[in-house]
Amino acid sequence: MSYWRLQTPIGWLKGESDSDILYALTFCDDKPKVQYENKTNGFTRNLQSYFEGKNTLVDMVSACAEESSFKAKVLKACREIPFGTTQSYSELAEKCGSSGAAQAVGQIMKNNVIPLIIPCHRVIPKNGSLGGFNAGIERKKWLLEHESYYLSLQNR
């Protein structure tokens, strides 16, 4: 297991991974403790590229188990939300065959251990507000604006 950190425009990210599986990704306001290394690996390169607007993180490997549970369906559906767009909690619930389960979707997003890879920042309330985000609403807003900006450049 490797513990690493990465400075981003919206604070530090700390990650836990093996060579090909990302187990955890967390935003933090302060530089992570010493056990987290400034280490370059495939994950840090892809994340840095994302913050530079050169990568949508679509190809990054996640630790999501392939299973048929509602949680697995929601996490998979969240990964399919296109870069630079949003979906509501209720739309995601309906897509997973459980209309009316918007609150359950919200809890799954709240407990997402690999944000950005499973882009829970792209899930918003039906009324169009930003809703919540474990890493802070300002980071969610920044991520959505970042993706929207780079999507507009790609579509020119």
> Catalytic site residues?
120
The full DSSP string for the chain is -EEEEEEETTEEEEEEE-SS-EEEEEEESSPPPTTSEE---HHHHHHHHHHTTS--STT---------SHHHHHHHHHHTSPTT--EEHHHHHHHTT-TT-HHHHHHHHHT-SSTTTS-GGGEE-TTS-----TT-HHHHHHHHHHHHHHHHHHT-
